[in-house]
Structure 1
Amino acid sequence: MPQPVPPSWKDLGKSASDLLQKDYPIHGTSLEVKTLTPSNVTFKVAGTRDSKSNVIAGDIEGKYVDFKNGLTVTQAWTTTNLLRTQVELENQIAKGLKLDLATTLNPEKSTKAAILTAIYKQPSLHTRATVDLFKGPTFTADAVVGHDGFLVGAEASYDVQAGSITRYAGAVGFSAPEYAVTLHGLNLSTFSASYYHKVSKDVEAGAKAIYDTKSTTRGVALEVGAKAYLDNAAFVKAKINNAGVLVLGYTQALRPGVKAAFGLALDTTKLNDSAASTAAHKVGASFTFNS
């Protein structure tokens, strides 16, 4: 039986991370409008108002896709005067090979960055090499090997100018349609374990634990969460961590292409502390229009 292409290094444990991190708009109010033209050009305008600082940040983005030649060009301009350009070329030089050049430029501060990435995917193998051209330069490589659901991955970063390895990590996991388990280790000092379970077609559950040997608390940070579909157009999510922070999320599809999400975070250790209630609890919302 042919082996599928395993997930990339950054997507190991993605099911659990998405369950615990996505669809919780608790830091303010956000709006995203996306439109697609007949010539495969996508325009996106997004903005977020931070509830703590009241600062509004946004960006406008244009994305062109040439499916025939495997070319994607994305350009964006943010309210911080940051210009982002990304050029992707896939399956043209060799089957399974994708080249990605991402650049950023801030004319006001005269800062720039350029990251060149090569991604190669084949059955049982997903590998990536990245060069940060202006920082270091730094060379990063990672690879994930998969067989019958078992996954093994590793990553390392090398600073060319300093002549030293600045980061190394490894991971093992198992992925099945109904559940996934992943273990990560970073620099032999930070370890994490994540678990995802699709209990039924309407219910999902997951958890993540992180242990940092350099942390002053010397404890394990634990977070558990669940997602339940109310119907085909709405779902609710809830998670809580060992610090006592409870986060709730509700997402509703109002009509095709229109989605609203609402989030609430409560510090359960300060429910009776009226003086700290404003800082301890958070509320937010997000609205998405896609046509």
Structure 2
Amino acid sequence: MIFQVLVFFWLVFFVSAISQLVLAGSFASYYWAFNKPDDIPTLPVAKAIGITLRYHVGSAAFGSLIITILKLIQGILEYLNRKFEKEQNKLAAFIVKCLGCCCLCLEKLILYINRNAYILVMVHGSNFCSSAWRAFKLLARNILRVLVLDKITDLLMMVGRLVAILLVALPSGFFFSGYISYFEDYVKTLGLNFYMVPVILIVVGGFIVAREFFSVYSMGVDTIFLSFLEDLERNDGTAEKPYYMSKDLMKILGKKNVKDRNDSNGNADGETGEEAEAEAENQV
């Protein structure tokens, strides 16, 4: 039974890792397309699925195995905690609770590192361990940007989930309560004794759908952000190392490529050097 539970958790985290790899590959194919949208693959999700299943199943299995082992440790600590509390051994129970708290924090950290490691796995095609170490160093060098982006992203995602839930909850509440006269005859035929029951079920279902829906956006934000940091460190805008970020993002940051690959005159977007510099200064 313990073995079956472990395999179940491993498969759950494995499926989650595969989905993260596919999403990361899809968003990364947009960012790392030099000429947007011409260089973007026709079917980016299908291509990301093929690359993931062909090359990176091992990375997904290894990353999910780490989380499964942490879950096993948490289960053992929970069992020991209940046993010590039953025997009224307060000191041992306190120590086990502290270890459980540390294990929970470690799990959150590992999940965050795994998420960013999967992104660099799809960007570079490297193995899981090297990608995880590379992602950790990259985020550590840009810790202030990471903190600001995480807070802003969490706020926007929370607002988006609340709006989506309200858009589902309010109409369903008005409908089942018979508040709108147009639906009075239909609501009476339902024979509901407590109209809040279906409303609560609809809200719970809406929350689950909204959470999964916005998790795609969250993965997209993380992929674009990590690719942006990688782009800034690898490239400098010269002809040999041009930026891969979009033109709008370059204008916001005041960056520009000295020479466009498709411009034989050596100027980005066919502009003269003075015009490109003046435009960048105006954007700043």
* Same fold? TM cut 0.5: no
With normalisation by structure 1, the TM-score equals 0.23
More strand by share: 1
Q: Which is higher, the Rg of structure 1 or of structure 2? A: 2
More helix by share: 2
With normalisation by structure 2, the TM-score equals 0.23
